[in-house]
Amino acid sequence: MTSASVDLKKEQQASLARPPYRYSFAARSFFFVMDLVTGREMSLAKAILIEMLAGIPYRAWEIRAYARMTRRYRTREIVEQARGIMLWGRES
């Protein structure tokens, strides 16, 4: 965390001033299916489901990095790179 303070009102206004993000077809399809399964309104159950799904890529990267470390244990550079990916995934 940085010691500089953030002007939340200024950041909100900057966010509102930016044009909306154009989502890909895959993202729009995902949103559509999520709305079909869970409903359009935001609920605690929907938020929990989204949080559970959001962690999947990080776990996959960690598992892949661990497998890479196991296969290439004699190459220190690769092991350190894979370890860095694992630590980053755990922090994220």
Instruction: Phi first, then psi: give them for residue 21, nearest 5 degrees.
Output: -70, 135
Determine, yes or no, domain membership for 14: no
**% of the chain beyond a pLDDT of 90:** 27
Bin 39: left if φ > 0, else alpha if -120 < ψ < 50, else beta. Answer: left
Q: Is the pLDDT of residue 92 over 80?
A: no
> 34-64: per-residue pLDDT in tens?
899 888 998 998 889 888 888 888 888 888 8
- Kindly state whether residues 71 and 40 are assigned to the same domain: no
Q: Is 45 exposed, middle or buried (0-12, 13-18, 19+ CB in 10 A)?
A: exposed
Q: Is 78 a domain residue?
A: yes
- Give the domain extent around 88: 56-92
Token pair for 33: 């299916």
Give pLDDT, residue 68: 86
